[in-house]
Amino acid sequence: MTQSFQKVRALTGMKDVLPDTSGQWEALEAVVREWLSSYGYRNMRTPVLEHTRLFTRGIGEVTDIVEKEMYTFTDALNDEQLTMRPEFTAGMVRAAIEHNILYDRPQRVYAMGPVFRHEKPQRGRYRQFHQIDVEALGFAGPDVDAELIVMLSRLWKTLGLTDIRLEMNSLGQADERAAHRDALIAYLEQHKDVLDVEAQRRMYTNPLRVLDTKNPAMQEMANNAPRLFDILGSDSLAHFEGVCERLRDAGIDYTLNTRLVRGLDYYNLTVFEWVTDRLGAQGTVCGGGRYDGLIALLGGKAAPAVGFAIGVERLLDLCAQSAEQVTLPECQVYMIHQSPDAQRLAAKVAESLRDAGLRVIVHAGPAGFKAQFKRADASGATVAVILGADELAAKTASVKWLRVKEDGQDQPQQETIALDRLVTELKLKV
C-alpha cells in the first residue's frame, strides 16, 4: 500500500505563474527586450547564488535587505556562506569586474529574473519576485542618468501607462552626506521621543534612512529635518540640474522629493523613483540612481555607474489596471480526427501547417467528436480542422471557424477545403 503523501504547497510569498497569465509576462518581456536593445543595452546573466559578503559589502550592513531580508545559508558541503540574490546590481558589478569588461569601454547592460527577499507578503510584496535591471557601467552622466529616465518614460508610453509619476532627488557626494549627517543626528536626538525602535537603532549608523520611514507618527519629524539637498555643493547641484534640464528637453515632468534616499547604501548624486497611486501601499514600480563608489568598493578599478530596477509584478499589476488583458490561446488551429488513420494524417498535416508558421494542436488520444470539439473551443483556437471518414475518402478537410474575426469581415461558419489547398488557405485566413 502506498503511504499517503501530504500535498506540498508553494512557499509563502512565492507565486506560480500559470499558463493563462504567462502570456502577459512573455508579452512584457518581448516589449522590454526590444525597448532595451533600441537604446543599445545588451543582456547579462549572473548566478542566483552569490557569496553573502558580496551583498553585505555592496548593499550595506545597515539596510533593510541585509539586516532582515536575505535568504542566507551555509553550504553544507564546503561551509561557505551563500545568499540568494536580493537584487541584481551587486552581482552585475561583480561580474563586470571579474571579467574585466569595463577595461576598454563602458557597458550598457541589463538582466531580468527572480530575486529573493524575506519580507511580509502582501500585494506587491513577495519573497520571490522579478526585476528588470538596467545598468550603465562606466558613465559619469548627467547625460546617461537622463537617458535612463527618458527610456523609462518611453516604456510606460509603449505599455499605455499614464498614472505614473517621477520623483527625483540628489544624494550628493560622500563629503556632503558626512557634513549633513552631524546636523541630522543632532536633530534626531532632539526628536528621540517620536522615533520608533528601528529609527533609534539606525540614527547613528544610517541616519538618512530614518527619513525614509513610512511610519505615520514620524512624518512631521522627517519633513522638518535638515535637508541634505540644501547643503549640496555646486558640482552636485550642476549634475542634478544637468539631469533635470534634459528631462525638461524631453518633456518629462518630475517632482523634487528631498526625502527620497532609496533602500541601498551605494547611491550618490541622482536618485529617482517612478510611483503610482493605482497599486495601493506598494506604489513604487521602479527605483534607481547613481552609484559611483560601488565598483571600487567591490574591488574594481574605480568607475562611475548608474542604473535602475523595475519590479515586474508591480508593473504587470499596473498594466492589468490600465489595459485590457488578453490570454494567449493555446493554438490557432485545433485538429480533430475520427479514426486512427485520420489521426495519423492529422499529425502529418499539422507538421505542414507548422512549416507555414501556424500554431497547431492535434487532439491527443482517442475521443468522440463532441469531446474533441469542446476541447478545440476551450483551446482558444481560431479554427478547428476536422478529418473524418468522409474527408479522408474525398481527400478534403472540414474547416470550422470558431471565432468571429476582429476586422468584422464576413466569414463562412464552415467550409470544405481540399487537403492539398489546406496549408495555403489557412495561412491566408487564420
Q: Annotated binding residues for L-histidine, as ranges?
A: 87-89, 117, 131, 135, 262, 266-267
Backbone Cα Rg of the chain: 28
Residue 131 interacts with ligand ATP (CB under 6 A): yes or no? yes
- Count of residues in contact with ligand ATP, rule CB under 6 A: 18
User: Nearest distance from residue 169's CB to ligand ATP, in Å?
Assistant: 13
CB closer to ligand ATP out of 259 and 429: 259
Contact window for ligand ATP (CB under 6 A) among 119-127, 294-302, 347-355, 408-416: 119-127
CB 417 within 8 A of CB 396: yes
Beta bridge partners of 152: none
**Amino acid type, 361:** I
Query: Which residues, 6+ apart, have CB-to-CB distance to 63 below 8 Å?
Result: 206, 209, 263, 264, 265
Of these, 21, 52, 257, 282, which contacts ligand ATP (CB under 6 A)?
282
Of these, 29, 67, 119, 163, which contacts ligand ATP (CB under 6 A)?
119
Which residue lies nearest ligand ATP, judged by its C-beta? 311
Contact window for ligand ATP (CB under 6 A) among 126-134, 236-244, 372-380, 413-421: 126-134
Residue 278 interacts with ligand ATP (CB under 6 A): yes or no? no
Q: Which of 69, 92, 98, 72 is nearest to 83 (CA)?
A: 72
Residue 360 corresponds to which cell in the numbers above?
497547431
Residue 67 interacts with ligand ATP (CB under 6 A): yes or no? no
Of these, 91, 287, 300, 304, which contacts ligand ATP (CB under 6 A)?
287
Q: Which of 134, 63, 51 is nearest to 98 (CA)?
A: 51
Element containing residue 417 per DSSP (H, E):
strand 414-418
Cα gap 108→133, rounded to integer Å: 11
Buried b (16+ CB within 10 A) or exposed e, 364-395: eeeeeeeebbebbeebbbbbbbbbbeebbeee
Contact window for ligand ATP (CB under 6 A) among 117-125, 134-142, 249-257, 369-377: 117-125
Give the DSSP letter of residue 39.
Answer: T
Residue 117 interacts with ligand ATP (CB under 6 A): yes or no? yes
CB closer to ligand ATP out of 162 and 411: 162
Cα gap 119→261, rounded to integer Å: 20
CB closer to ligand ATP out of 267 and 334: 267
User: Nearest distance from residue 351's CB to ligand ATP, in Å?
Assistant: 42
Residue 28 interacts with ligand ATP (CB under 6 A): yes or no? no
Site for ligand ATP in 293-332 (CB under 6 A): 309, 311, 313-314
Q: How far is CA 377 from the centre of its chain?
A: 33
Residue 76 corresponds to which cell in the numbers above?
553544507
CB 333 within 8 A of CB 359: yes
Residue 284 interacts with ligand ATP (CB under 6 A): yes or no? yes
Interface with ligand ATP (CB under 6 A): 87, 117, 119, 124-126, 129, 131, 263, 282, 284-287, 309, 311, 313-314
